Amino acid sequence: MSFLSESLKEVAIPDSLLVFKEAFNQVAVQKVYFSECRPVAAYHTEDAPVEISVPNQGNEYIDLQRSRLYVKARILKADGSVLGKDEKTGIINLPLQSLWSQIDVYA
């Protein structure tokens, strides 16, 4: 077996494969809750950034993998008018991922 370095010869095994290892007791998380945060300012222009401020709650941890973004959208015509009842429309694949070109997270 080849190694990247002579000093790094320890073999790594994913935790999911360690079926006979004694499980740890998780005591760090005492409570899980969800809070609703709305955008800081209204966004009416096309290139305006959407800024959402999550208030700091002291010693709490924000799990970004469990964070959710609720988006309510309406499809309009190019001139801004509402679609008719019989007009057919389609949406692109992965619409929520396509809405954002950049996401910044600040601590």
Task: Give how far Cα 69 sits from Cα of 12, 27, 44, 78, 100, Å.
Answer: 35, 28, 19, 26, 12
For residues 55 and 9, the model is more confident at: 55
1 pLDDT more than 60: no
What's the predicted TM-score (pTM) here? Answer: 0.55
What mean pLDDT is predicted for residues 72-78?
85
The answer to whether residue 91 scores a pLDDT higher than 60 is yes
| Distance in angstroms (rounded) separating the CA atoms of residues 83 and 89 | 9
Percentage of residues in the chain with pLDDT exceeding 70? 94
CA–CA gap between residue 69 and residue 96 (Å, rounded)? 9
Q: What was the pLDDT predicted at 23?
A: 77
Contact criterion met (CB below 8 Å) for 52 and 80: no
Query: Contact, 57 vs 43, CB < 8 A?
Result: no
